[in-house]
Amino acid sequence: EPEVTQTPSHQVTQMGQEVILRCVPISNHLYFYWYRQILGQKVEFLVSFYNNEISEKSEIFDDQFSVERPDGSNFTLKIRSTKLEDSAMYFCASGDRDPDFGPGTRLTVT
């Protein structure tokens, strides 16, 4: 059964550095999502992407965040200048309507 995959599984970075989190959605899905979960807190919606553009985004998804689908398979989340509070588990998801989630990337900002 096809699955959403994410790399890396764990990323450690210094405050102020840029990070790119990578996702390979399920191939025939049309909608792509990023969610994050700060340790012990809710799973929070960041952004959805459809037809090569952002369809919805939350208040969390500010100018330091960007998403891209650079080719036919990858879907990336870039954080330009990481802050300590960006430390979280980041989940990619894809779906036709209701999302299937990847295993997540744990981002640790030191």
Residue from 84, 102, 106 nearest 93 by CA: 102
Residues in 33-52 at the binding interface with other proteins, rule: CB under 8 A: 33, 35, 40-45, 48
C-alpha count within 13 angstroms, C-beta hemisphere, residue 7:
2
Q: Which two tokens stand for residue 100?
A: 């299937």
- Closer to other proteins by CB, 4 or 21: give it: 4
To the nearest whole angstrom, how small is the minimum distance from the Cβ of residue 13 to other proteins? 20
Which of 25, 88, 102, 107 forms a contact with other proteins (CB under 8 A)?
102
Applying CB under 8 A, the site for other proteins has a residue count of 25
Told to check if 7 binds other proteins by CB under 8 A, we report no
- φ/ψ of residue 64, rounded to 5: -80, -10
Task: Say which DSSP state 3 is in.
Answer: -
In whole angstroms, give the CA distance from residue 9 to residue 107.
9
Residues in 82-101 at the binding interface with other proteins, rule: CB under 8 A: 91, 93, 97-101
Residues that bind other proteins (CB under 8 A): 3-4, 6, 9, 31, 33, 35, 40-45, 48, 56, 91, 93, 97-104
